[in-house]
Amino acid sequence: MSLELYLAYCAACVVLVIVPGPTVTLIVANSLTHGTRAGLINVAGTQLALAVMIGVVAVGLGAMVATMGWWFNWLKLAGAAYLVWIGIKMLRSTGQIGLPGATSRPKSFFWQGFFVLLANPKVLLLFGAFIPQFVDVSQPYFMQVVFLGLTFMAIATVFDTAYAFLAGGAGKMLSAQRVRLISRLSGLSLIGGGVWLALIRTR
C-alpha cells in the first residue's frame, strides 16, 4: 500500500469513528455519570469487540455470512435487546457523579462496551465492505486486513478516549440535574438504536 492510499484510509477511519453512534453514546453517558475511568473501561471493551470483528473479516467475511446468516439475525435481536436494557438503566439515572461502588465493578463497564459494539452486525458488514477496498489483491490478504484493522483500532482508541476524558471532565462541572438530563437523552438514543436495529434487515 502506498503512503497516499494509507493516509486516505486513515482519513476515512477518522470520519467513521467521530460520527456518534451507540458506542460513543455509551462512553459519554458513563463518563458523565461514573467518571472518566468508566468511559475508559468502555473503550477497552469496544477494542476487544473490534478485534473480534477484524478477525472475522480477516478469516473471510463472505463465507461466514453465507454459512451463518441465521447467527447474525439472532445476534441482531440480542444486541437490540441489550441496547434497550442499557437505555432503560440510563433513563433511571439519578444524575449523581461517582455513584458509590460504580467504579469498583470495572467488568460491568468493560462488557457493556464489548457487547454494545459486537451486538451490531452492521458494523461487521461495514468492515467487510470498507477494509477490502484498501487491500491489494496481488498480495497476501490476511496480514493486510490485520494491519488495516489495527490501524482502525488505534484511531478508534484515540477518539473514544478523548470522548471519555472530555465527558468525564464535563461531568465534574455539571449539576446532577443536567447530568441526569444527558443520561436520559443518551438512554432514549440507545433505546431508539435498539428498536432500529431490531427492525432493520441484517442482510
Using one digit for the tens of pLDDT, what is the confidence trace for 9-19? 898 888 778 77
* pLDDT above 60 for 81: yes
Every domain of the chain and the residues it spans:
22-199
Contacts 24+ apart (CB under 8 A), 100-108: 102/33, 102/34, 102/35, 102/38, 103/34, 103/35, 103/37, 103/38, 106/37, 106/38, 106/41
Q: Which range (3-17, 57-71, 99-113, 134-148) has the least confidence?
A: 57-71
* CA 191 vs CA 15, 26, 64, 203: distances in Å: 24, 12, 29, 22
Residue identified by cell 469513528 is 17
Q: What was the pLDDT predicted at 102?
A: 44
Question: Is 22 in a helix, a strand, or coil?
Answer: helix
Over residues 3-28, mean pLDDT: 82
Provide the whole-model pTM: 0.69
Over residues 116-142, mean pLDDT: 75
Average pLDDT, the chain: 75
Residue identified by cell 494509507 is 6
Percentage of the residues of the chain whose pLDDT score is greater than 90 = 13
Angle formed by the axes of helices 176-199 and 22-34, nearest 10°: 160
171 vs 101: which has the higher pLDDT = 171
186 vs 98: which has the higher pLDDT = 186
Q: What was the pLDDT predicted at 154?
A: 94
Over residues 195-202, mean pLDDT: 62
176 vs 185: which has the higher pLDDT = 185
Burial class (CB in 10 A: 0-12, 13-18, 19+), 182: buried
Over residues 10-35, mean pLDDT: 81
**Alpha-carbon distance 58 to 152, whole Å?**
14
Q: What share of the chain is helix, strand, coil (3-state, %, to 5)?
A: 85, 0, 15
